[in-house]
Amino acid sequence: MTLEPFSKQGVLDFANALPFFNLIGLKIVDVGDGYSKAEITYRNDLCQPAGILHGGMIATLVDTGIAHALLMTDAFRRNSEVGGTMVSVDLRIKYFRPVSEGIITCVSKIPRLGRHIIHGESIVTSADGKEVARGDSIYMMVVPEQLRAK
């Protein structure tokens, strides 16, 4: 059976087979129109020297979460059908508390979807439900003409 690439199951299967995600244990657990939920489990090899989860792992959750929320939008589908893609142009993370155990969850949404500029937001929580970070990102839809070398 072949899955539609932009179906929920198609996106989940594709994301969860990516080598980088497998390396760090990142899982996309749910996607919908302008929504995603991603998780990573605390591991010692993902920590900074003080034994807390490295901030780069949280940033990766936010960036990945927002990208996967965007993948499920009609605007991204239409752009992809003509050979376009998307790129991040800004990523900001605000860290509130350290993480030193359990599953870390990132819920991402797309509150603003323009023709070319997209704003995404994420909330990252620890296993006990406490908010550990918030992030936001700006993505740009890129049309095929912009992908050609000049």
At 5, give phi and psi (nearest 5°): -60, -30
pLDDT (tens, 9 = 90+) of the chain, 150 residues, equals 344 667 889 889 989 899 999 999 999 999 999 999 999 999 999 999 999 999 999 999 999 999 999 998 988 888 888 888 899 999 999 999 999 999 999 999 999 998 889 999 999 999 999 999 999 999 999 887 776 665
| Helical ranges in the chain per DSSP H | 8-15, 19-24, 55-71, 74-81, 144-147
> What is the reported pLDDT for 4?
62
Q: Please name the fold of domain 8-147.
A: Thiol Ester Dehydrase; Chain A (3.10.129)
> What is the reported pLDDT for 129?
96
